[in-house]
């Protein structure tokens, strides 16, 4: 049975944590030995790399070289060894080492403004982490013994990687057809110690830019002269695309799990129905992804006091809107796509992707197209689509939360103070629309823009690296959306908890007031109905300032009592006479309870008491670990004359959302999701 997406993601997190703990990734070139998590470890956490000390590996690498030498000694023509490349493959030469240099030379043609200065324009270069991942992958591929590249060349790349010497590679220029030729030619420039190929050398918190020649000299690494086929063997592969795709998929998988958690939080904040995720619904339409999402969200909601079961007698909508109710059907297919994408990229990480390939056992060269990175593009396109659909769902949930006509009684824009002077989450609401618009643009397919290249030889090309670059931008935007939505959710949950506290404090006082006022009248047995009318009125006037809300709830309760008395046949005049007294006392009670509850809640939020076991972990992470507080309105604005002098350093809303964004982007949130998933699994 195929593992679920959550199981695969948990396994990936475990692999990454293990690599970080051990501090090294060992390469052996074997099938399925590398996973995307290993790329993340080396690319983002500077985990070191080593080559497995194996005579078998050394033999298969040497055997490929011996096969090449044998065919050359027989005066055979071998593509890229004694022939030109691409559309110029009809040329022949006996200057084999010079030919390899010529291959590097014509591909080292990218634009890198500002070099050799350390303040070069990094926006025109591939991210350092991506390049580190590409070096790792190229080494793993070359170890497979299909490329005739010497061990000392592979070892030099590993030495440079572990010395944090990273070539500065142009961002643009690859069509990922005959592999990523241009980006990988800069690895060749590093290997040969090219004085005009520049690298970044990380030393602690500093990064120095210098020539490849100088960097190798400082690290006591001798450059190499690339022999027959070696430059082509280094250049002709999909490593940059596969590295970029690994990072994108890792992030997308994380965001897919996070979106399910955020949907659980949104279900609580909107008093949504846990029955949206009932297994009967999924069993009636048993797509694996849908079944998994419903199960995940349902387990995340175990122990919640806020999520509801379906109540067919309630007023208003009898069911939740689509952003909650159809989340399993919306997210489920994306998980299925991501599982396939994971499989595609994992296969790519453990493949030989250059041309020609040396078949030692068959004693022949195979001229093929393993460099055509369409499988990588396919995986990335799945991720891009998934990212957009996740973002669309997040935006819909967020819009529902800030809209007072949709959020079941919460204040407009989720303000804590008066709505007439506080618009807490309105800016975030607008931001979400901006993010979503850009995300939609980035989701446009890249592969549909393929152009003919290189003398019509590369007439089809995968554009995998371009696709991965734009997918990385999509990842960043969806991360922003998750951060903004999580901020909004925590604010909404606090307001929902505040409302619960208010009702809990109000109900016994109103019950006592009711008993005193109506003990000898027709209304004596009607407290339950009055209470329902009061709570409904409170929700109905959620757009009002507090004073107006108190007054209108008071008026509504009085109207309810008057209407009830009017329907009775023998209502005493004394009962009508008590209405003004009721109004005066209920309004003062509302004011007093509301103010006291707010003061108490402002000092200490009770929100965790109402949350599910798993969602509580996420809420507490934001409020305690990240120190992102409840937003109380103008008193929390750093530039306001009304800023509260309570000893707390005031931050803008954007600063607090940025804290969440940074923690998601860095992977800090993974530990929270791991813990929440484990807790849910144990209690479900």
Pairing of strands 364-366, 357-359: antiparallel
| Bridge partner residues of 50 (DSSP) | 26
State the CB neighbour count (10 A cutoff) for residue 656.
20
The two three-digit tokens of residue 298, written as one number: 């349902």
Cα separation of 565 and 380, whole Å?
A: 68
* 258 and 660 Cβ atoms separated by less than 8 Å: no
* 271 and 306 Cβ atoms separated by less than 8 Å: yes
Q: 211: part of which helix (H) or strand (E)?
A: strand 206-211
Q: DSSP string covering 47-66, please?
A: -EEEE---HHHHHHHHHHHH
Whole-number CA gyration radius for the chain = 32
Q: DSSP string covering 490-524, please?
A: HHHHHHHHHHHHHHHHHHHHHHHHHHHHHTTSTTT
Cα separation of 224 and 396, whole Å?
A: 56
| Bridge partner residues of 367 (DSSP) | none
As a residue count, the chain comes to: 684
Q: What long-range pairs does 547-556 form, CB within 8 A, spacing at least 24?
A: 547/591, 550/587, 550/590, 550/591, 550/594, 551/587, 553/586, 553/590, 554/583, 554/586, 554/587, 554/590, 555/583
CA distances, 202 to each of 57, 114, 128, 160 (Å):
31, 18, 10, 11
| Strands, E assignment, 96-177 | 165-167
* 81 and 96 Cβ atoms separated by less than 8 Å: yes
Cα separation of 149 and 227, whole Å?
A: 8
Cα separation of 405 and 401, whole Å?
A: 9
* 352 and 144 Cβ atoms separated by less than 8 Å: yes
Cα separation of 554 and 619, whole Å?
A: 34
From the number of C-beta atoms within 10 Å of its C-beta (0-12, 13-18, 19+), residue 279 rates as exposed
619 catalytically annotated? no
Backbone φ and ψ for 208, nearest 5 degrees, come out as -105, 140
- Preceding omega of 163 cis (within 30 degrees of 0): no
State the CB neighbour count (10 A cutoff) for residue 58.
15
The two three-digit tokens of residue 542, written as one number: 């959620």
State the CB neighbour count (10 A cutoff) for residue 311.
10
- The residue from 79, 487, 610, 619 that is catalytic is 79
Q: How many CA atoms lie within 13 A of 454 on its CB side?
A: 22
Residues annotated as catalytic are 79
């Amino acid at each position: 049975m195929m593992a679920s997406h959550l199981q695969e993601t948990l396994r990936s997190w475990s692999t990454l944590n293990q690599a970080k703990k051990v501090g090294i990734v060992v390469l052996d070139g074997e099938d399925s030995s590398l996973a995307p998590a290993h790329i993340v470890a080396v690319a983002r956490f500077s985990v070191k790399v080593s080559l497995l000390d194996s005579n078998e590996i050394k033999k298969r690498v040497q055997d490929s070289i011996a096969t090449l030498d044998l065919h050359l000694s027989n005066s055979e023509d071998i593509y890229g060894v004694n022939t030109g490349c691409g559309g110029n493959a009809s040329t022949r030469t006996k200057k084999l080492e010079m030919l390899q240099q010529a291959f590097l030379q014509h591909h080292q043609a990218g634009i890198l403004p500002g070099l050799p200065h350390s303040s070069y324009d990094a926006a025109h270069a591939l991210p350092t982490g991506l390049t580190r991942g590409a070096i790792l992958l190229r080494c793993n591929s070359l170890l497979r013994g299909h490329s005739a590249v010497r061990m000392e060349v592979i070892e030099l790349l590993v030495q440079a990687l572990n010395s944090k010497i990273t070539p500065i590679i142009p961002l643009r220029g690859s069509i990922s057809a005959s592999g990523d030729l241009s980006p990988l030619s800069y690895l060749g420039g590093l290997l040969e110690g090219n004085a005009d190929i520049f690298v970044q050398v990380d030393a602690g918190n500093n990064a120095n830019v210098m020539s490849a020649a100088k960097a190798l000299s400082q690290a006591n690494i001798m450059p190499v002269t690339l022999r027959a086929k070696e430059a082509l063997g280094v250049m002709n592969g999909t490593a940059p695309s596969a590295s970029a795709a690994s990072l994108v998929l890792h992030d997308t998988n994380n965001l897919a799990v996070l979106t399910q958690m955020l949907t659980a939080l949104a279900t609580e904040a909107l008093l949504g129905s846990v029955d949206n995720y009932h297994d009967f619904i999924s069993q009636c339409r048993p797509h694996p992804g849908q079944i998994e999402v419903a199960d995940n969200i349902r387990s995340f909601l175990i122990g919640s006091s806020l999520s509801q079961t379906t109540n067919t007698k309630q007023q208003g909508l009898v069911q939740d809107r689509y952003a909650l109710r159809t989340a399993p059907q919306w997210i489920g297919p994306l998980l299925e796509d991501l599982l396939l994408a994971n499989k595609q990229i994992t296969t790519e990480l453990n493949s030989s992707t250059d041309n020609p390939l040396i078949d030692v056992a068959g004693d022949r060269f195979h001229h093929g197209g393993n460099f055509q990175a369409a499988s990588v593009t396919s995986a990335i396109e799945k991720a891009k689509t998934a990212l957009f659909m996740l973002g669309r769902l997040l935006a819909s949930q967020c819009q529902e939360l800030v809209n007072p006509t949709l959020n079941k009684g919460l204040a407009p824009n989720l303000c804590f103070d008066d709505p007439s002077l506080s618009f807490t989450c309105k800016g975030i609401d607008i931001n979400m629309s901006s993010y979503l618009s850009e995300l939609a643009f980035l989701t446009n397919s890249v592969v549909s823009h393929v152009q003919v290249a290189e003398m019509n030889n590369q007439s089809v090309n995968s554009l995998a690296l371009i696709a991965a670059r734009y997918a990385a931008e999509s990842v960043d935007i969806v991360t922003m959306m998750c951060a903004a939505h999580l901020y909004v959710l925590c604010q909404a949950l606090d307001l929902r908890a505040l409302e619960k506290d208010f009702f809990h404090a109000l109900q016994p006082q109103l019950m006592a007031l009711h008993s005193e006022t109506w003990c000898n009248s027709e209304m004596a047995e009607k407290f339950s109905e009055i209470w329902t009318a009061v709570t409904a009125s409170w929700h109905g006037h959620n757009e009002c300032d507090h004073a107006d809300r108190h007054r209108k709830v008071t008026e509504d309760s009085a109207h309810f009592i008057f209407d009830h008395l009017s329907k009775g046949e023998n209502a005493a005049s004394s009962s009508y006479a008590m209405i003004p007294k009721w109004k005066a006392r209920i309004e003062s009670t509302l004011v007093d309870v509301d103010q006291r509850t707010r003061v108490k809640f402002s000092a200490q939020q009770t929100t965790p008491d109402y949350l599910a076991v798993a969602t509580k972990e996420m809420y507490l992470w934001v409020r305690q670990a990240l120190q992102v507080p409840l937003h109380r309105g103008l008193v929390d604005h750093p530039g306001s004359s009304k800023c509260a002098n309570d000893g707390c350093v005031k931050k803008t809303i954007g600063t607090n959302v940025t804290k969440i964004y940074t923690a998601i982007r860095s992977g800090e949130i993974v530990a929270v999701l791991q813990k929440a998933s484990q807790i849910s699994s144990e209690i479900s």
